[in-house]
Amino acid sequence: MKAQVNGTSRDLADGTSVAAVVTLVGAPEKGVAVALDGAVVPRALWDRTIVPDGGVVEVLTAVQGG
Amino acid sequence: MDDPLIIAGREFRSRLITGTGGAANLSVLERALVASGTELTTVAMRRVDAAGQTGVLELLRRLGIEVLPNTAGCRTSAEAVLTAQLAREALETNWVKLEVVHDEETLLPDPVELLDAAERLVNDGFVVLPYTNDDPVLALKLQDIGCATVMPLGSPIGTGLGIRNPHNIELITSRASVPVVLDAGIGTASDAALAMELGCSAVLLATAVTRAQDPERMGAAMRCAVEGGRLARLAGRIPQRFWAQASSPGL
């Protein structure tokens, strides 16, 4: 199945979790948050939240700014 | 003299809030932040990329500086609310510098989207510090819906044009009961001092320090300027006169 991960279309195995996507993009251990289809997925739910076909995942962290 | 800045019940000894954008590298940023004496500093939220983390969070934690996430780049209330919620999740703070800008040329706040986002975030339990126009009416509305500060611009972000409408800033500081933070447009130390003399409780700046030829020295200059301006405001300046008035006794 396909999902949009940080703006890029990716082929993901069925049943891929949000936690797996976070690992896939190489996110740091701390200071990271995830939105799935426009809603925040709390860290405690990353393991059991499955990315649906056509899902839009954003993995964000803090950078220099403002 | 004990004169802390208090935002949402939290005390800060420094009245200078800084940004982290624009610094050539983290080493330059670190020296500038230390010289500025800041205790609260903004970061932006962006997609994790292949290059990995930027290290700015680790730097701020090591320096004991509180992190203030912003919603820079957001153009609608919905985007800003989601970005704030992501920042809260990522950084474990419910404080947010709310920015909702209208267009890239001016980076001026969109007042309609801003007010809507501020209300949603206050209702969601955030401590909201909104970057706003130098509009005294909008500032009061932001205060009335529960924002912890109001942060009017001196001039557009990154321009260094200083405070273009000092009277508006003074109108805002004379009527607001929450701290007023002059945010954006500061070019040099005298701009920061003027903001404090006009009654602002603090100054927020980034570019003026990070893109100065010597960011560390400019960080120190801003620290002194904010302290000097604050002292002058508290001291009470003399009224301006048209004619000279001798300060020495007559012959």
Name every residue in A having a CB less than 8 A away from some CB of B.
Answer: 6-7, 25-28, 30-35, 38-40, 42-43, 58-66
C-alpha dist (Å) from residue B251 to B97, B105, B243, B244, B247: 59, 61, 19, 16, 12
Token output for B172: 């805002």
Among chain B residues, the shortest Cα distance to A5 is held by: B47
Write down the pLDDT at residue B53. 56
As given in the structure block, the two tokens for residue B166 are 């000092």
Contacts of A33 (CB under 8 A, 6+ apart): A40, A43, A59, A60, A61, B45, B86, B87, B88, B89, B90
User: pLDDT tens for residues A10-66?
Assistant: 999 999 999 999 999 988 888 999 999 999 999 999 999 999 999 999 999 998 888
CATH topology classification for A2-61: Ubiquitin-like (UB roll) (3.10.20)
State residue B241 phi and psi, 5-degree precision: -125, 155
Q: How many angstroms away from the CA of B50 is the closest CA of chain A?
A: 7
Assessment of whether the complete model's pTM goes beyond 0.80 = yes
Specify the range with the lowest mean pLDDT, choosing from B85-89, B94-98, B101-105, B244-248. B244-248
Q: Comparing B12-16, B33-37, B244-248, which segment has the lowest mean pLDDT?
A: B244-248
Residues B116-138: tens digit of each pLDDT: 999 999 999 999 999 999 999 99
Determine the pLDDT at residue A26.
85
pLDDT at residue B160 above 90? Answer: yes
Is residue A64 within 8 A of residue B43, CB to CB? The reply is yes
- ipTM of the complex in this document: 0.91
> Are B208 and B173 in contact, with CB atoms under 8 Å apart?
no
Using the structure block, give the residue that is written with the tokens 């690992």. Answer: A23
Cβ B45–A60 below 8 Å, yes or no?
yes
* Domain regions of chain A by residue span: 2-61
The crossing angle, in degrees rounded to 10, of helices B136-144 and B166-175 is 30
Catalytic residue, chosen from B15, B88, B97, B233, is: B97
Query: What domains does chain B contain, in order, with CATH numbers?
Result: 5-72+84-97+118-234 (3.20.20.70)
Contact check, Cβ <8 Å, B45/A63: yes
* B161, two tokens: 């044009």
What pLDDT is stored for residue B119 in this prediction?
A: 98
Q: How far apart are the C-alpha atoms of B111 and B133, rounded to whole Å? A: 8
Residue B25, strand partner residues: none
Element (H, E) at A58: strand A56-64
Q: Which residues in B lie closer than 8 A to residue A36 (C-beta atoms)?
A: none
Query: Three-state SS string across B94-136, please?
Result: CEEEECCECCCCCCCECHHHHHHHHHHHHHCCCEEEEEECCCH
Residue range B14-34, pLDDT digits in tens: 999 999 988 889 999 999 999
Please state the separation of Cα B44 from the chain's center in Å. Answer: 14
Beta strands in chain B (DSSP E): 5-7, 10-12, 16-18, 40-47, 66-69, 95-98, 127-132, 151-152, 181-183, 202-205
**Cβ-count burial B203-238 (b if 16+ within 10 Å, e if not):** bbbbbbbbebeebbebbbbbbebbbbbbeebeeeee
Using the structure block, give the residue that is written with the tokens 């339990």: B125
Kindly state the percentage of chain B with pLDDT values over 90: 90
Distance between CA atoms of residues B147 and B144, nearest Å: 7
Catalytic site includes residue B141: no
Cβ contacts of A56 on chain B, cutoff 8 Å: none
